Amino acid sequence: MTEPTRQFDIGTLGGTRPPEQEAERRPVAWTRGADVGMLLLRLGVGGIFVAHGLQKVFGMWGGLGIGETSAILEGLGFAQAPALAWALGFGELILGAMLVLGLFTPLAAAGLLAVEICAVVVEWGTPFFAADSPNALEFDVALGAGVLALLFVGAGRISLDSGRTWQRRPVPWAVLFLVLGVAVAVGVLLGLR
């Protein structure tokens, strides 16, 4: 004897009830935990960039300052190294602070992603793990992944971006700023190196 034909697909679990209609489904609830998690990610990643900017610009916490940063960039083959050192230092400082505050998060994340793309390309021949080399790629990849995540999920509701268009609909803005960040990185790598 064959099984009777069903009017609807009930999946592999069986049952006699049709699937719920879209209107009857509860929307996925946003949790405070997600907002706190994004705040912690912003504080951690953005704080690291602020500290690096302070090291590059003012030589704080054992940093090199603008002169040494410029010399390193020149040694890596970058043209206009002094101007690039200032842009890099203040970029990390200002964009990192914007990330911490959750202010214009897509712009800040895209700018910092451009910094990390350049860092990974420049250091490509070095070992990946920090245990193997002080200039390993591991740290830059982790920071790049953090800003990329924030680019796509937004700053969360515990931010100055709360309620803004790019927070309510993050994916189109993320794609736009991702393209912008990659374009800046490619421009720096091809135009200044």
Q: Decide: pTM greater than 0.85.
A: no
Does the pLDDT value for residue 14 go beyond 70? no
* Domain assignment present for 169: yes
Residue % of the chain over a pLDDT of 70: 83
* Domain assignment present for 50: yes
Beta-carbon count within 10 A of 130 CB: 13
pLDDT at res. 93: 94
Query: CA gyration radius for the chain?
Result: 23
* Domain assignment present for 1: no
* Mean pLDDT of the region 79-101: 91
What is the H or E stretch that residue 175 is in? helix 170-191
Query: How many domains does the chain divide into?
Result: 1
Does the pLDDT value for residue 187 go beyond 60? yes
* Domain assignment present for 126: yes
In tens, the pLDDT along 101-113 reads: 999 899 999 999 9
* Domain assignment present for 115: yes
12 vs 80, higher pLDDT: 80
d(CA 56, CA 54): 5
From residue 25, how far is each of 7, 18, 148 by CA, in Å?
Answer: 21, 13, 31
In tens, the pLDDT along 120-170 reads: 888 887 777 877 777 778 888 999 999 999 998 888 888 887 777 777 777
d(CA 1, CA 18): 24
Beta-carbon count within 10 A of 61 CB: 9
* Domain membership of residue 110 as a residue range: 43-191
In tens, the pLDDT along 22-58 reads: 556 556 566 788 888 889 999 999 999 999 999 888 8
* Domain assignment present for 19: no
